[in-house]
Chains A and B, each alone.
Chain A
Amino acid sequence: MSLLELNNISYNYDGKKNVIKNVNYSFDKGKVYAITGRSGAGKTTLLSLLSGLTAPTQGEILFNNVNIKKINKYDFRSRYVGVIFQSFNLLPHLNSVENVELSMRASGKKTPNRRQNAEEILKKVCLDDSLAKRRILKLSGGEQQRVAIARAISYEPEIILADEPTGNLDSATQDEIVSIFKSLAHNDGKCVIIVTHSPVVAKAADEIFELAPLK
C-alpha cells in the first residue's frame, strides 16, 4: 500500500480548461520524488492538491488508503503534510524558532520542551542559536529556506512537500538542502516530494515524475 496515491486526478480553475488531467501516481515512504515539467505543466497545482490546499475537480487522492476529502483539511495540513513553499511563507514578525514553534502548536502535538525541540530541529538544518532568535527578514534566502524546512518537519509529518526549494540558492547551499531532503527520506523514512526545474535536484531524487503539459 502506497502512502499517497493519485487516482485519475484532474483539476481546473473556475470550470475552465484543465491544468492537469487524469494523473495517476503513487508515492511511498523513504523515497525522494522529483516532480518536473515545463512551466504551466501543473507542478505547483499538483503540489497544492497533494498538500490539501485545494481539492481535485475529478479523481481522488488517497492518504494511507483514505480519501483525503474525508480528512479535515486543516488537520491534514497541520499533522500529516509539511509544505515548504517556494517563497517560504514564514511570518516576518516572528523569529526563526517562533515560526517553528507555531507549526508545532498548530499540529496539536504535546511536546514538553517545545522551545528546546524547535532549536534542535533548527540545528539539524544547520541554523545555530543566534540565527534561531533572529527575525525572519534578517535572514538570508538560504537561511529562510532552512527555517521553512525546519517548520515543515517540526511536527514529524509523514509527507514533506517542497516547491522549488533550491530556486534562489547558490549551488553550495542547493547541495546542502538536497542532502537534508535525502536524509529525511532515507534516514527518517519520510516521503519527500520536490517540485523542481533543477536537473541537479531531479538527478538526486530516487524517482522522477514528469508532468507533460496538456495540449
Chain B
Amino acid sequence: MIIQNALKSITRCTGRNILIGIIVLVISVASCVALNIKNAAAQAETEGLSNIKITGQISLDRQKMMESFNPEDAASGERNPENFRDMFAENTELSLDQLQTYASSGNVEDFYYISTAALNAADDIEPFSESSSEEASEDTAEAETNNPFAEGMPNGGMPGGQNGGMMQMNQGDFTLTAVASESALTDFINGTSKISSGTIFDVSTADNNCIISSELAAFNGDLAAGDTITLANPSDETETYTLNIVGIYTNTSSTSDSNGMGMRFSTALDPANNIYLSASSLTAIAANSESVGTTSTDDYGRTTSTAITTQTQGTYVFADVDSYNAFGTELTSLGLDENYTLTSNDISSYEASLVPLQNLSSFATTMLLIVLAVGAVILIVINIFSIQQRKYEVGVLTAIGIKKWKVAAQFVTELLCVTLVAVIVGAAISAAVSVPVANTLLANQISSQQTQQQSVNDNFGRGQAPAGMPNAAPNNGGGNPMMGGRGDMFNVLQNADANFVDKINAVTDFYTVLQIILIGVVLTIISSIVAIIFIARYEPLKILANRT
C-alpha cells in the first residue's frame, strides 16, 4: 500500500516532485563530479608512484645534526664554532663499500653509483664558457676566492650532503663523472643526453677513455673521437692526466639560459664541461694522485692533501614506494647512523607535480561539503513546505485509518524514489561531464600554480625559465644534482616548468555511483526526519476541522 500510494502520488503531483528532482539532480551532479575528482586524485597519487621506479640516495641530514648537536664546550659552557667544524669533519659521505653493503637489502632492486672529481684544464683544452676565455678564468678565480663555502674547508667544499658534492666541484674547470655500470648513466637512459659521434666507453676498464659534450668539443676546435685531452689536478697543476676521447655527446640540459649560468660559481658546474669516464679510470687517477700528492696541516689542526678527491653517490632503485619506505626503516637496523637519511628525488618531484591535483582535490572536498550542506538545508526547507501543503492529505489518510508511520513511510518512499531517479540521472550526467570538467579545473589550478611560480621567479629576477627542462620530471631516473648542473634547491624555486599531472581520469565508476546513492539516501533520511516529526504531531480531527 505504501509503495502503491507513493508511486501514485509521485505521478500525480509532478510539479513538486520535479522541483525536488531538479535540486537533487544538481546536488548529485556536483557531488558526483567532486567525488570523481577526489577519487581520481587519490588514485593518481597512489598509482602514479606505483607506476614509476623509485630511486633514492643516502645522504647526510645536516639539519638534523644541527638540531641534535650541542655547540657548547663541555668545560667552558661557551659556544665554540670549532665543535661544528669537528662534527661535520667526522660525519662524511658514506664510502662506496658502505653504500654497497646497504644495497644487499632485499628491498633494493638495483644499485648504481657515480663518482665525481673536479679537474682543471691543462694547456690543450679550455673549459666551455659562454663568456670569453679570459673572463671565464677570472670568473673562476673570483668564484674560488669569494665562495663562502670554500673558505676554511678542506678541498673547498662541505663534506657530505646532497649539495655538498656540487659545492666541492667549484674548484675545477671540469667535472669528471665516473660510472661503473651503464644504468648509472641516467641522462643517456632518459634521453637527456645522446652520443652524437663515436661510442660510449667500456665502463669496466681503466683505459682513461672518456666522452665529452658537443659544446666542449666545438669550443676547443672540433675535438673528435680519437683525440686526447689533458687535465690537471686543481691543487697541483703539474700533475696531469691524459684522457682519450671515444665519443661526443649532446645534452639538452646544457642549453644556455641566463638563470643557470648566472647561478654557477664555476665552469665545472656547466653540464657542457661534464666528462664521462669509467669508474675504474677515475679510481686509477685518484689512486695515482694519492700516491704523488702532498699533505699539510691547517690552522685548525686538520690535515689536507693535494690529492684529487672523489665524491661517490650511490643510487638505490626500488620496485615501488613500499620497498622504498621499508628500506628507509631497514637502514637503521642495518647500522646506518641516524645522521644519514634516505631521500628520493622521484618522490619529491612527483609530490611537486601533484600540487595542482591536490589543490583541486581539496577544492572538490570543500565543494562537496558545501553542496551537501546547502542541499540538505534546501531539501529540509522544501520538505517542510511540502508537508505543510500536504497537511490535508495527512489528515484524510489518518482519518480513514491509515497509521501515521505508514503515512510517513509513504512520504519518505516518495522522496526516496524521486531522489534515486535524480541521483541516477545525475550520475549519468556527471559520467559525461566529469572528465572534461575535472581536467578544465585542473588546467586552471596548473595555470594558477605556474603563474604563482613565475611571479616568484620574477621576484628573484630569474625571468622566464626555458621550456623543456627535465628538472622536475617524475621519471628522470634520479635527477642527480651533480650532473645536471642545478641542484634541488633550484627545482624548488624554479619549477615553473615542472611536469604537473595535467590529466586525471575522473570517471564515474560503480563505487562512485554507490557513494552518491548513499549520499542520496542519507539526504532523504535527514530531510524526511522533519516530515516525520510534522506527521507525528498532526491530529486528523484538528486538520479536518480547521479545513472545514
Contact = CB atoms under 8 A, between A and B. Distances in A.
B66 to A, nearest CB: 78
Contacts of B541: 48, 53-54
A87 B402 contact: no
B12 interface: yes
Contact of A79 (B5, B8, B12, B401): B401
Given A77-B401, A78-B400, A89-B399, A105 B4 contact: yes
Nearest to B396: A89
Contact of B1 (A79, A90, A93, A105): A105
A196 B393 CA distance: 26
Nearest to B1: A105
A107 B401 contact: yes
A74 interface: yes
Contact of B401 (A74, A90, A91, A98): A74
Contact of A102 (B5, B12, B13, B544): B5
Contacts of A83: 399-400
Contact of B393 (A75, A91, A105, A107): A91
Main secondary structure of the interface of B (DSSP, over half): helix
Contact of B396 (A74, A91, A105): A91
Interface string A85-97: 1110111011000
B544 A74 contact: no
Interface residues of B, number: 22
Contact of B400 (A77, A86, A87, A94): A77
Contacts of B4: 105
Contacts of B540: 53
A86 B548 contact: yes
A93 B544 CA distance: 17
A211 B540 CA distance: 24
A90 B402 contact: no
B398 interface: yes
22 contacts: A48-B541, A53-B399, A74-B402, A76-B401, A78-B402, A83-B399, A85-B548, A87-B544, A87-B547, A89-B399, A89-B547, A91-B396, A91-B397, A93-B8, A93-B9, A94-B12, A102-B5, A102-B400, A103-B401, A105-B1, A106-B1, A106-B401
Can you list the 5 inter-chain pairs with the closest CB atoms, starting with the nearest?
A: A78-B401, A77-B401, A93-B12, A53-B541, A105-B1
Given A86-B548, A106-B1, 7 more contacts: A48-B541, A74-B403, A76-B401, A77-B401, A87-B544, A91-B393, A91-B397
Interface of B: 1, 4-5, 8-9, 12-13, 393, 395-403, 540-541, 544, 547-548
